[in-house]
Amino acid sequence: MQNIYIGYHFKVEPKDPGTEILLAELGETPFESFIETEEGLSAYIQKEFWTENVLDDIFILSSPEFKIEYTFEEIDQVNWNEEWEKNFEPIEVDDTCYVRAPFHEKTNAKYDIVIEPKMSFGTGHHETTFMMIQHLLETDVENKKTLDMGCGTAILAILAEMRGAKPIDAIDIDNWCYLNSIENAERNNCEHITVYEGDAALLEGKKYDLIIANINRNILLDDMQQYKDCLNDGGTLLLSGFYEEDIPFIDASCTEKGMKFIKKFSRNNWVALKYVN
């Protein structure tokens, strides 16, 4: 039996950070797949879960700070690969790391990562993923036991292995992300990544030399003590998924737990911070 979807196509102004906020809010609803577009975002929900008031609790739609217009349509059996081929552009970071889909041509980049995400979480298009790649390219991860928390499509875990990290745990609470991370790790011939479905409760008793957490401010603050408890002395913590104005809250949580700030990347008001335990 074919699944019938309702597809919403949002035009967002300003696109950044409006699209990310919209995506985060829609992620709390029955919408299950998202594709970033040139104008904003397309979001898809199975018709059986759709109601006329499905957008009533999406606060950004009524925010005076953003202008958001949308259309919607009924779609039979969405071909996610076809949608991605229309919208997914490869990403190049510092002439060193290249993130692409299988249908893109291979380059001579030192780190060539191939993913087939079918949705837009963690593809590298978003500023936070881009900056976390930058941090990983500058960090010595050779033989470092690593955690990719909230791994999404496992891009960061894959890059960590390519740069010599092992063993690597990749964790995501979302079942789709869990399954897709397994697929992408296999696609990139990774041998040291183990993917788990769950949250910070899985960290009890674990120890790591490097923790990568690209999630959002509230979850990071809630789980910061677990990260501290899991981080070996001298270990590195890379954090992103929040704005410049969130830095005081993140920094206070890290420093009061004895972690030292090392470096910040900024990109369109998003930031990625590096700490050492």
> With contact defined as beta carbons under 8 Å apart, do 218 and 241 qualify?
no
Q: What is the pLDDT of residues 93-123, one digit of tens each?
A: 988 999 988 888 888 899 999 987 655 444 4
Burial 152-189 (b: 16+ CB within 10 A, else e): bbbbbbbbbbbbebbebbbbbbbebbbebbbbbbeebe
Residue 130 CA to residue 93 CA, distance in Å, equals: 7
pLDDT for position 148: 98
Sheet strands (E) in 3-47: 4-13, 33-36, 40-46
**pLDDT confidence of residue 83:** 61
Question: pLDDT: is 209 or 2 the higher one?
Answer: 209
Question: What does the pLDDT average to over 82-101?
Answer: 78
CB atoms within 10 A of CB 197: 16
* Helix pair 155-162, 175-187: axis angle to 10 deg: 30
* Higher per-residue pLDDT: 123 or 175: 175
Q: CA-to-CA distance for 44 and 163, rounded, in angstroms?
A: 36
The strand ranges marked E within the chain are 4-13, 33-36, 40-46, 67-76, 91-93, 97-100, 111-114, 146-149, 168-172, 193-197, 208-214, 231-243, 260-267, 270-276
Residue-wise pLDDT for 188-215, tens only, equals: 999 999 999 999 999 999 999 999 999 8
pLDDT bin (cut points 50, 70, 90) of residue 76 is: low
pLDDT of residue 124: 46
Question: Rounded mean pLDDT of 232-258?
Answer: 94
| Beta-strand relationship, 193-197 and 270-276 | unpaired
pLDDT of res. 86: 62
According to the model, what pLDDT value does residue 137 have? 97
**What's the pLDDT at 81?**
55
Q: With beta carbons less than 8 A apart as the criterion, state whether 180 and 105 touch.
A: no
How many Å apart are CA 191 and CA 187, to the nearest integer? 11
Of 208, 225, 214, nearest to 259 (Cα)? 225
Q: How confident is the model at residue 122, as a pLDDT?
A: 46
- Mean pLDDT score across all residues of the chain: 88
* pLDDT of res. 56: 94
pLDDT in tens, 11-51: 999 988 898 899 888 878 888 777 778 899 888 888 888 99
Strand partners, 193: 168
Q: Which two tokens stand for residue 194?
A: 């183990």
- Give the residue-averaged pLDDT of 169-185: 89
Bridge partners of 265, per DSSP, are 272
Task: Give per-residue pLDDT as tens, 138-160.
Answer: 999 999 999 999 998 899 999 99
Please provide residue 99's backbone torsions phi and psi, each rounded to the nearest 5 degrees. -110, 125
pTM of the full structure: 0.74
Residues 26 and 57 sit within 8 Å (Cβ to Cβ) = no
pLDDT band at 132 (very low <50, low <70, confident <90, very high): very high
What pLDDT was estimated at residue 87? 63
